[in-house]
Structure 1
Amino acid sequence: MKIISFKPDHDGTIAALDASAAELIYSYEAEKDSFPRYSTITPSAVLEAAGRLDAIPDVIALGGWSIMGTTGERPIAAGYYGLGQGSEVVGETTIFGRKVNFYSSTHERSHLWCSYGLSPFPLGIPCYALIWEGGLGDFYEIDERLQVVHLGRVMENPGIKYALLYALADPKFTFPKGHTRREDAGKLMALCAYGQIGSPDRDEQALIDLLLPSDLYPLSKEDLQNSPYYNIGVTHQRFTNLARRVSDAMFHSFHTFAKKNLTKGYPLLISGGCGLNCEWNRRWVETNLFSDVFIPPCTNDTGSAIGTAVDAMRHFTGNAKIKWSVYSGQPFVFDEIDHTGLEVHPLDYNQVASALLADKVIGWVQGNCEIGPRALGNRSILAAPFSKATHERLNRIKNREAFRPIAPVCLEQDVGLHFDLARPSPHMLLFQKVLDRRLEAVTHVDGTARAQTVSREQNPRLFQLLTSFKAKSGVGVLCNTSLNFNGAGFINRASDLLAYARAVGLDGFVIHDNFYLLQTTSRTT
């Protein structure tokens, strides 16, 4: 049985499962291949995804949504919210003259079954689940029979509240009432590190008391014009202090609920956009409330198509576990490029490692692109980790704010040498304290980093490059940031990569088995 699943609206994604083998075939995200971030499903993605299947699938699955997102009353298919009766739509549809099964379940369920289906815990092991995203802030229990119990809603709209807080301080934010920018929640997470430790003062507590109640929506920036933080600037110390206090208060609300109600010691699954908050993920690990904690690499809406496909597989087969690879995205397109000003060498890991040690910044392309928003060594920009100047250069290349951190990638066997959390983190979703003072380029202002760990089995080519770099530098760590135009998904074709390298000043790039070096006169520095 083949299942193809579609996630509508932003973060549009198409996923395919082979239910007979219980395996993910692919997950194609509309923003990848340099389309705008958060794109809806594109015709090119549909054609490419359909071309990967050798026959019309047995099941067409459509993730639930709403015409107006989390707030609308008109549902798309199964709709946005719900777990019980009415949260599934099962029937038939016709595609190219053939009748096939049709399945839809709510967006809420897509998060739940994505994290369950991708988790390493065997089928039948009970789990707790946390969904916190733009609209949802809820805990669940999944029992050994795959029955789901809703344990309670802690907070509505946690992700929206994060984005609203950033907008409040940003003089550049001029969106209409009731709208936020999707990228702002992640930026606020980075700013929290600049906040000073301490209890909330009167102004901070007043805003916490206003923001955290679960029934607060919609609230807009213009409703807070009298706030002392209105247009204060996102890097102002008073605002970064506020950001930290609000973030801590939000986590405390969820932790208090979990400590009281999640008492069986099951593993915890985390999904939703707030699952990209590496500090919160680390805190969940350290609560010791759970036997383990799992966050999928596509914890935000990029995993929803997978979740709906897993839910459909569960409905038709009774199984909700799949085999999968994080490198299940689109294959790289090697189209025609202009070789003017390029030196082309066969890939030699020692040569690339020497270039990196000489402070060259290198694009790195291998195989299929990653699923989810994090570059994990197949669509990456790599650099040596030792200099603050490298951190500044990378943020200039990325056209990002100077306060944004740069993540490290580290040999898995060496993670305890450089960071304080000596456990694998293959998807770059946990904060660690940096122990090695040499790693200035990847150390955030609060002394943390969100490291990706790499083993030979996980990504053999990146593992070999790190091993070669360690042999030359003594350190098996590199800077790793995503290879993309600002505001777009991962670069996925050679012509775009060359144009990007020349425009932003990359020193070179690797595509599969070739190393391309740009002559100085052919690039912007």
Structure 2
Amino acid sequence: MRIIALKPDHDGTIAALDASAAELIYSYEAEKDSYPRYSAITPTTVLDAAGRLDAIPDVIAIGGWPKTAMARDSAVAAGYEGIAQGSEVVGEKTFFGRKVHFYSSTHERSHLWGSYGMSPFPAGMPCYVLIWEGVFGDFYEIDERLQVVHLGKVMASPGDKYAFLYALADPNKRWLHVEDAGKLMALCAYGQTASPDRDEQALIDFLLPRHGILLNSLSKEDLRNSPYHNIGVTHQKFTNLARRVSDAIFDSFHTFAKKNLTKGFPLLIAGGCGLNCEWNRRWVETSLFSDVFIPPCANDAGSAIGTAVDAMRHFTGNAKIKWNVYLGQPFVFDELDRTELEVHPLDYGQVVSALLDDKVIGWVQGNCEIGPRALGNRSILAAPFSKATHERLNRIKNREGFRPIAPVCLEQDVALHFDWARPSPYMLLFQKVLDSRLEAVTHVDGTARAQTVSREQNPRLFQLLTSFKAKSGVGVLCNTSLNFNGTGFINRASDLLTYARATGLDGFVINDAFYVLKTASRAASIRQKS
């Protein structure tokens, strides 16, 4: 049985499952291939996804969604909210002249079953699930018979609250923007940990209880008398506030969990707030759970997978899948103007020498990653030793200077450089940096968001890190996503060359070839002669 699932609206994604093998075939995200971030499904995505299947699927599954953000009871398919009876739609549709099964379940369920299906725990092991995102802030329990119990709503819209806070302080913004939640996470590191003062507590008391639907219509002008209105996002008074609001949100959920989640089950984390590395590390450190799992596509990019898993659960009774993180779109090698390029067979020593000469290199291998984090198949890589490299990478990415750059590290060496001794393959946890040499990847508070790499997980990136360690003594590199500002990963050769020219990349690797821009090569030759 083949299942194809579509996630409507923003973060549009098409996922395909082989239910007979309980295996993810692919997950194609509409924003990948340099489309705007959070894109809805595009005709290109549909064609690419359809082209990967050799027959019409047996099940078409649609994730539930509201027709308008302000009216969640105006439903697309199964709608946005609900886990009980009536939160799924089952029937038949005619698809290109063939009768197929139709399945739809709510967006809420897509998060729940996506995190469960992708988790490494065996079928039948009960789990807790935390869904926290732009609407939900809820805990659940899935028992050994796949029965779901809603344990309670802690807070509506924790993700929207996070994003709204950034907009409140930014003089250039009137409304919240989804991407600002990640920026606020970076700014929290600049804030001082302390009990809230009177102004901070007043804003916490105003913001945290607000319902999500009201929050979507909340204008920052409603808070024009606040001392934080247009104060500037890097102002110390605001970064202190950001830290304390972030702590207050987490503490609300932790207090609930400590009281109500007492059975020691593993915790699964889903929703956009599952990309908050500070909160994820704190969940691990609570010791309330036997383990904690966050999928690499915890945000809505994983919702199509979740709907497909839910459909598989409905038709087969199984809700566990095999998958890996490199099941996105394959790279498109279209026409490439080579007049400005020197092309070499991939030699790891040559790439390492370039990196140690402070070159910044694009790195493309195979299919792109699922989820929003570059994990070694659509990455920009650089040596990790210099603050100047951190500054250059943020200029290349056209990002604010306060944004951190993440490291990628050999899995076996992670405890040498960071206060972490376990795999972290999806770059979803903060660690304290122990190695003072790693200036480019050390955030202002001494943390980093490291990805660990093993030979089995990503052989070529593992080999590059191993070669870099042989020459530098350190199996760590800077790793940031290969994308134009405001778009998903670059996924075709012509776009990559355009990007390299525009941003000043020194070269790029595509699979087995190393492309060096001649301008970069000439500059290196001049430096050597001088």
Alpha-carbon offset, residue 490 of structure 1 = 0.2
3-state secondary structure, aligned to 1:462: helix
> Are residue 213 (structure 1) and residue 209 (structure 2) matched?
yes
CA distance in structure 2 between the partners assigned to 1:83 and 1:481 by the alignment: 37
Higher mean C-alpha deviation, range 180-189 or range 313-322: 180-189
CA distance in structure 1 between the partners assigned to 2:290 and 2:520 by the alignment: 56
The change in CA–CA distance for 1:268 and 1:29 in structure 2 (over 3 A counts) is same
Point out 4+ residue stretches in structure 1 off by more than 2 angstroms: 69-73, 214-220, 521-525
Q: Give the partner amino acid of 1:194.
A: Y
Match of residue 249 from structure 1: 248
Alpha-carbon offset, residue 236 of structure 1 = 0.4
Q: Give the partner amino acid of 2:39.
A: S
CA distance in structure 2 between the partners assigned to 1:321 and 1:382 by the alignment: 34
Alpha-carbon offset, residue 73 of structure 1 = 2.7
The change in CA–CA distance for 1:414 and 1:114 in structure 2 (over 3 A counts) is same
CA distance in structure 2 between the partners assigned to 1:358 and 1:131 by the alignment: 44
> Are residue 139 (structure 1) and residue 135 (structure 2) matched?
no
Match of residue 199 from structure 2: 203
TM-score normalized with structure 2 length: 0.97
Q: Give the partner amino acid of 1:257.
A: F
Aligned pair partner of 2:184 in 188, 197, 202:
188
Q: Once the two structures are superposed, what CA deviation does each residue of 1:316-342 show, in whole Å capped at 9, x if it has no partner?
A: 000000000100000000001100121
> Are residue 488 (structure 1) and residue 484 (structure 2) matched?
no
Match of residue 80 from structure 2: 80
3-state secondary structure, aligned to 1:368: coil
Q: Give the partner amino acid of 2:159.
A: G
Alignment RMSD? 1.3
CA distance in structure 2 between the partners assigned to 1:408 and 1:102 by the alignment: 43
Q: Once the two structures are superposed, what CA deviation does each residue of 1:40-82 show, in whole Å capped at 9, x if it has no partner?
A: 0000000010010000000000000001237533110000000
Q: Once the two structures are superposed, what CA deviation does each residue of 1:164-186 show, in whole Å capped at 9, x if it has no partner?
A: 100000000034xxxx2110111
CA distance in structure 2 between the partners assigned to 1:30 and 1:49 by the alignment: 10
Alignment map for 1:317-466 (pairs within 5 Å): 317-466=316-465
Q: Give the partner amino acid of 2:356.
A: L
The change in CA–CA distance for 1:168 and 1:214 in structure 2 (over 3 A counts) is closer
Q: Once the two structures are superposed, what CA deviation does each residue of 1:197-255 show, in whole Å capped at 9, x if it has no partner?
A: 21111000000111111536233212111100000000000000000000000000000
The change in CA–CA distance for 1:78 and 1:70 in structure 2 (over 3 A counts) is farther
The change in CA–CA distance for 1:21 and 1:523 in structure 2 (over 3 A counts) is farther
CA distance in structure 1 between the partners assigned to 2:317 and 2:437 by the alignment: 51
TM-score normalized with structure 1 length: 0.98
Q: Once the two structures are superposed, what CA deviation does each residue of 1:418-468 show, in whole Å capped at 9, x if it has no partner?
A: 000111000000000000000000000000000000000000000000000
CA distance in structure 2 between the partners assigned to 1:484 and 1:79 by the alignment: 32
Alignment map for 1:74-223 (pairs within 5 Å): 74-175=74-175, 180-213=176-209, 215=211, 217-218=214-215, 219-223=218-222
Match of residue 467 from structure 1: 466
3-state secondary structure, aligned to 2:189: helix
Match of residue 44 from structure 1: 44
CA distance in structure 1 between the partners assigned to 2:294 and 2:160 by the alignment: 20
Structure 1: state its 5+ residue gaps: none
The change in CA–CA distance for 1:377 and 1:236 in structure 2 (over 3 A counts) is same
Is the contact made by 2:174 and 2:219 (CA closer than 8 Å) also made in structure 1? no
CA distance in structure 1 between the partners assigned to 2:355 and 2:409 by the alignment: 15
Is the contact made by 2:506 and 2:520 (CA closer than 8 Å) also made in structure 1? no
3-state secondary structure, aligned to 2:47: helix
CA distance in structure 1 between the partners assigned to 2:403 and 2:98 by the alignment: 50
Q: Give the partner amino acid of 2:182.
A: G
